[in-house]
Structure 1
């Protein structure tokens, strides 16, 4: 079908973010589980994502990779789900969606790999320091009920996933602001459906 929607994912990956946003959107979609290793690097899948990674989505003839992009695309493609503010009110929405995709993920990854920049190097990386990133994030998630204001958006799916994983796996400290924000954004039927689907797929 022209408007068919396909999720390429693996339940042990960031594909869980894409699954969550798809469940929030509420449109029917087909799932293709892509196994790590040769399958993910096969010519068939590389034609979808030349990076050989998941997730990716195909919506008709449109292919989107990168979780933040998938969240933003689906919010726009399915406006009835109300997952993005009106265009004139998207400043905070875009800011925090891409803050999570850029400074937050980079800072946490570098720290986990033992590559935190020193004071001299901090001016050369987009996030500066992990301390600055986490202090900024703590203030941001405390300012409103949701990251872009009073309403849940696709930015909460993406940022919330990072915070939820960080709390689960220990890459974020258990500060009250992060715990409270994660509790708010994850208390959704779409999140529970997505989690159940991925947990089931992980057992196959």
Structure 2
């Protein structure tokens, strides 16, 4: 059965798309305009949240980008894109892998919402400014970690780097 990935350009669905490409897996890519819940008829029946990405692999349906990438690496590996639980850097790997969705996406989403996505009359510049500062402060940790190395963990490119 072919993996299906519902994707919007410049969205979090880029991570699982990148993972699929790096792993050389066969997949069907369904490209939609943003926001998919409003532009792709029937999408709420596929993903009631109306968000991207959505990946379907047989009976498995997933909607979190980092989780999808972890699933692909664990299900279809082995691959150097992932780490084994016995690897020394496994905890660091999981922390970086999930930080993007858990820590970075929230402030980034609010900045985009209140500077670009909302109609002009609903934009709240102060919210955007506050969350932009918060987002940038979270990026400092990434910059510090990469100041003396090329990759976030394990001395090689993994899905945590995507």
Same fold (TM over 0.5): yes
Structure 1 counterpart of 2:18, from 17, 20, 24: 20
Structure 1 residues 107, 19: closer, same or farther in 2, change over 3 A? Answer: same
Residues 1-204 of structure 1 mapped to structure 2, 5 A cutoff: 1=1, 4-35=2-33, 36=36, 38-40=38-40, 42=41, 44-89=42-87, 90-110=90-110, 113=114, 114-115=126-127, 116=130, 129-130=134-135, 132-157=137-162
Specify the alignment match of 1:172 in structure 2. Answer: none
| 8 Å CA contact retained: 2:37, 2:50 | no
Q: Please give the secondary structure, in 2, of the residue aligned with 1:57.
A: strand
Query: Separation in 1 of the partners of 2:102 and 2:161?
Result: 15
Q: May I ask how many residue pairs the two structures share in their alignment?
A: 143
Unaligned segments of structure 2, at least 5 residues = 115-125
Once the two structures are superposed, what CA deviation does each residue of 1:14-43 show, in whole Å capped at 9, x if it has no partner?
322222111012111112223445443x4x
Deviates more, 1:62-71 or 1:100-109: 100-109
Query: Separation in 2 of the partners of 1:26 and 1:70?
Result: 15
TM-score normalised per structure 1: 0.60
TM-score normalised per structure 2: 0.74
- The root-mean-square deviation of aligned C-alpha atoms, in Å, is 2.5
Specify the alignment match of 2:120 in structure 1. Answer: none
Specify the alignment match of 1:171 in structure 2. Answer: none
Query: Separation in 2 of the partners of 1:135 and 1:34?
Result: 32
